[in-house]
């Protein structure tokens, strides 16, 4: 078999439609110690294409108890790929006793040292109390931000569920990417963006653009620590009908009334 | 073949770094990592099994087998051959076809009813949006295939028929079916490789 023949057959191989003898022939060719002309790469490409074909079927949530059954089977059947736990080394009794005695001695010394330091620590605690208050406030703000993020997630999922919601891919400067969810009938739009670098000394600003009109500022995007951000576009910005473009630019802190840099993420809304 | 052992230099990998880290944790025996993969991949894997098998009890059995296999074979994942979700779905499809063949019940094929599904957990909207975007992309690419090519790919993917069986089913010469499989897959690969908005 020549490499060109293998590459022709690679598609059927990955799709699993070959007869056993045909498959074996391709396996033999792939195992041949020759300078292949991209055979493996073509087979990988065929496998990637086959894997993507799963998207033809609708995603269906499994029953709620499905994971529990899987967990139970894992516990029951174990696994082959986990290395066995290293066997605990045997320690002779005498050595263990000596180790325990040494540990006890160290423990007593440490206890005395700790007691001495406790007095110093007390004073330090007093000065830290003011810091604790600030920390508490930061924690409260973090929780509040998580609550808002959770509400936005629910709103985004609800918007996604609506059949008339359109998905507008936003692409541009890697690795940032995202989607705008647009439901013009209900005057709702949200953007979901991922892999945004932390905004230090700058802000990310979202724009709603209609051809022939100036970009309209739609808010500052504050990415979380994970680089993700979900934001809702104010309904009044959609009153004028379907936008043509959603864009994100980098602006000075607080944002700008008009973009001052080129967009690094753009999502064009297809007409229709 | 590239395996989980040397992922860093993979040029063609589609899996994200997070996916790879998850699988590395699965290899180490972390069932919480498997749970995360399950949350992300089970709807598509279950959807494919349901489409192939038609019966929910069978699809549920296959779902268990699929994730048991992911648990045992995480080390074998090859990022050159697609994302983690693609790999999981490929396992689900293979196990479903095995089951279909073992019961010899092609007649039992029927459309699954997604509306009867039960919800568990709340997926992250970013992931849901990306999944939907991928689905729309594949659906759009499939629509661009000539109907006869699309038909053979669907018979192959969802019914697990060999090229000879497809030829018998459709009454077409075997050579014609082979050509349709190859051309259809090549075209699909080309369409899926195109950047967003190029079509």
B112 or A20, higher pLDDT: A20
Give residue A22's region: left, alpha or beta (phi > 0; psi -120 to 50).
alpha
Q: What is the mean pLDDT of residues A160-173?
A: 86
Q: Which residue, A218, A176, A177, A204, is CA-closest to A260?
A: A204
Report yes or no: B184 and A12 within 8 Å, Cβ to Cβ. Answer: no
pLDDT of residue A32: 84
**pLDDT at residue number A6:** 92
Q: How much is the pLDDT for B129?
A: 73
Reported as a single tens digit per residue, the pLDDT across A30-49 is 888 888 888 999 999 999 99
| Digit-coded pLDDT (tens) for A185-203 | 889 999 998 888 877 788 8
Mean pLDDT of A216-228: 85
Does A270 score more than 80 pLDDT?
yes
Give yes or no for residue A10 having a pLDDT over 60: yes
Verify whether the Cβ–Cβ distance A50 to B73 is below 8 Å: no
Answer yes or no: are the C-beta atoms of A214 and A258 closer than 8 Å.
Answer: yes
**Is B183 exposed, middle or buried, given 0-12, 13-18 or 19+ CB atoms closer than 10 A?**
middle
Token digits of residue B112? 């699954």
The whole model's pTM is what?
0.57
Please give the Cα distance from A14 to B90 (Å, whole number).
10
3-state secondary structure of B117: coil
CATH of the domain at B173: 1.10.10.10
Measured CA to CA, the distance from residue A55 to residue B43 in angstroms comes to 11
B74 and B85 both lie in a single domain: yes
- pLDDT value of position A127: 55
ipTM: 0.77
User: Same domain for B93 and B169?
Assistant: no
Q: Answer whether A52's CB lies under 8 Å from B82's CB.
A: yes
Within this chain, do residues B35 and B105 fall inside the same structural domain, yes or no?
yes
HSE (side-chain half, CA atoms, 13 Å) at B96: 33
pLDDT digits (tens, 9 = 90+) for B144-182: 899 999 999 989 998 888 999 999 999 999 999 999 999
B110 and B24 within one domain? yes
Q: Hey, which of A122-131, A158-167, A204-213 has the most confident mean pLDDT?
A: A204-213
How far is A27 from chain B, CA to nearest CA, in Å? Answer: 13
> Which of B29, B135, B137 comes nearest A82 by C-beta?
B29
What's the CATH code of the domain at B100?
1.10.1740.10
Q: A170 near A178, Cβ under 8 Å?
A: yes
- Prior bond to A175 cis, omega within 30? yes
Contact with chain B for residue A154, Cβ under 8 A: yes
Q: How confident is the model at residue A112 (pLDDT cuts 50, 70, 90)?
A: low
Residues 6+ apart with CB under 8 A from A82: B27, B28, B29
CA atoms within 13 A on the CB side of A197: 10
Is B145 found in the same domain as B157? Answer: yes
* pLDDT score at A68: 92
Q: Which of A36, A54, A266, A269 to mutate to test the interface with B (most CBs of B within 10 A)?
A: A54
Nearest Cα to Cα of residue A43 among A2, A1, A7: A7
Give pairs for B195-198: CB < 8 Å, separation 24+.
B195/A171, B196/A169, B196/A171, B196/B137, B197/A169, B197/A171, B197/A268
- B102 and B190 within one domain: no
User: Are B130 and B159 contained in the same domain?
Assistant: yes
Chain B: nearest CA to A267, how far in angstroms?
10
Provide the pLDDT for residue A244: 92
| Res B122: pLDDT | 43
Give every residue of chain B whose pLDDT is below 50, as ranges: 1, 4-15, 105-123, 197, 199
pLDDT at B173: 95
pLDDT at A134 over 80: no
A264 touches chain B (CB under 8 A): no
Query: Does A238 or A76 have the greater pLDDT score?
Result: A238
Burial class (CB in 10 A: 0-12, 13-18, 19+), B170: middle
Q: Say whether both B10 and B88 belong to one domain.
A: yes
**Are B131 and B116 found together in one domain?**
no
Nearest residue in A to B137, CA atom = A55
**Torsional class of A60: left (φ above 0), alpha (ψ -120 to 50), beta (otherwise):** beta
**Is B188 found in the same domain as B108?**
no
Q: How far is B14 from chain A (nearest CA, A)?
A: 9
Q: Per residue in A54-104, pLDDT tens?
A: 888 888 889 999 999 999 988 887 654 444 433 344 445 455 556 666 666
Q: How far is A73 from chain B (nearest CA, A)?
A: 7
Q: Which string of b and e fits A250-265 if b means at least 16 CB within 10 Å? A: bbeeebeeebeeebbb
Host H or E run for residue B101: helix B84-103
Domain final position from B121, B156, B188: B121
Chain A residues 11-30 with a CB less than 8 Å from chain B: 11-12, 14-19
For the stretch A184-214, what's the b/e string if a residue is b when 16 or more beta carbons lie within 10 angstroms of its beta carbon?
A: eeeebbbbbbbebeebeeebbbbbbbeeeee
A50, A21, A25: which is closest to B156 by C-alpha?
A50
What is the structure's pLDDT at A30? Answer: 87
Length of chain A: 272
Query: B153 to chain A: which residues are within 8 Å by CB?
Result: 15, 53
Q: How many domains does chain B have?
A: 2
Q: For residue A214, is pLDDT > 60?
A: yes
pLDDT at residue B79 in the model? 85
Q: Supply the angle between the helices A39-52 and B84-103 in degrees, to the nearest 10.
A: 80
Q: Does A162 touch chain B (CB under 8 A)?
A: no
Is residue B19 located within the same domain as residue B73?
yes
Q: Determine what percent of chain A is predicted with pLDDT higher than 90.
A: 24
C-beta contacts of A108-113 below 8 A and 24+ residues apart? none
Last residue of a domain, one of B106, B121, B136: B121
For B20, the domain range is: 1-121
Look at residues B121, B139, B156 and tell me which one is the last residue of a structural domain: B121
Query: B1 and B74, same structural domain?
Result: yes
């Amino acid at each position: 078999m020549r490499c060109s023949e293998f590459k022709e057959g690679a598609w059927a191989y990955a799709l699993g439609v070959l007869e056993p003898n045909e498959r074996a022939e391709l396996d033999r060719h792939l195992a041949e110690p020759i300078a292949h002309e991209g055979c493996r790469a073509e087979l990988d490409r065929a496998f990637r294409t086959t894997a993507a074909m799963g998207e033809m079927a609708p995603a269906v949530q499994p029953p709620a108890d499905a994971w529990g059954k899987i967990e139970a089977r894992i516990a029951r059947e174990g696994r082959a790929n986990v290395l066995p736990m290293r066997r605990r080394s045997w320690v002779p009794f005498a050595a263990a006793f000596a180790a325990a005695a040494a540990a006890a001695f160290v423990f007593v010394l440490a206890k005395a040292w700790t007691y001495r330091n406790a007095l110093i620590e007390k004073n330090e605690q007093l000065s830290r109390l003011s810091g604790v208050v600030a920390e508490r406030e930061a924690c409260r703000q973090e929780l509040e931000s998580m609550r808002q993020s959770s509400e936005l997630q629910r709103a985004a999922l609800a918007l996604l569920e609506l059949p008339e919601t359109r998905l507008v891919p936003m692409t541009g400067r890697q690795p940032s990417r995202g989607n705008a969810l647009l439901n013009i009938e209900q005057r709702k739009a949200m953007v979901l963006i991922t892999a945004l670098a932390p905004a230090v000394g700058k802000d990310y600003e979202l724009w709603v653009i209609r051809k022939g009109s100036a970009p309209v500022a739609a808010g500052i995007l504050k990415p979380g620590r994970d680089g993700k951000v979900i934001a809702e576009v104010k309904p009044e910005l959609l009153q004028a009908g379907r936008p043509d473009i959603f864009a994100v630019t980098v602006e000075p802190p607080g944002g700008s009334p008009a973009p001052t840099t080129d967009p690094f993420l753009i999502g064009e809304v297809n007409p229709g | 073949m590239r395996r989980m052992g040397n992922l860093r230099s993979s040029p063609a990998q589609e899996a994200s770094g997070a996916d790879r880290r998850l699988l590395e944790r699965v290899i180490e025996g972390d069932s919480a990592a498997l749970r995360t993969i399950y949350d992300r991949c089970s709807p598509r894997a279950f959807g494919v099994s349901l489409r192939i098998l038609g019966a929910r009890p069978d699809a549920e059995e296959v779902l268990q087998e699929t994730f048991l296999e992911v648990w045992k074979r995480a080390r074998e994942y090859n990022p050159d051959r697609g994302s983690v979700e693609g790999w999981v779905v490929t396992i689900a499809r293979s196990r479903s076809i095995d089951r279909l063949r073992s019961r010899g019940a092609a007649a039992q094929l029927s459309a699954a009813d997604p509306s009867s599904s039960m919800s568990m957990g709340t997926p992250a909207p970013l992931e849901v949006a990306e999944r939907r975007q991928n689905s729309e992309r594949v659906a759009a690419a499939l629509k661009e295939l000539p109907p006869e090519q699309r038909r053979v790919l669907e018979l192959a993917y969802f019914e697990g028929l060999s090229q000879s069986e497809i030829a018998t089913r459709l009454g077409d010469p075997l050579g014609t079916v082979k050509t349709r499989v190859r051309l259809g897959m090549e075209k699909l690969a080309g369409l899926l490789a195109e950047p967003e908005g190029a079509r």
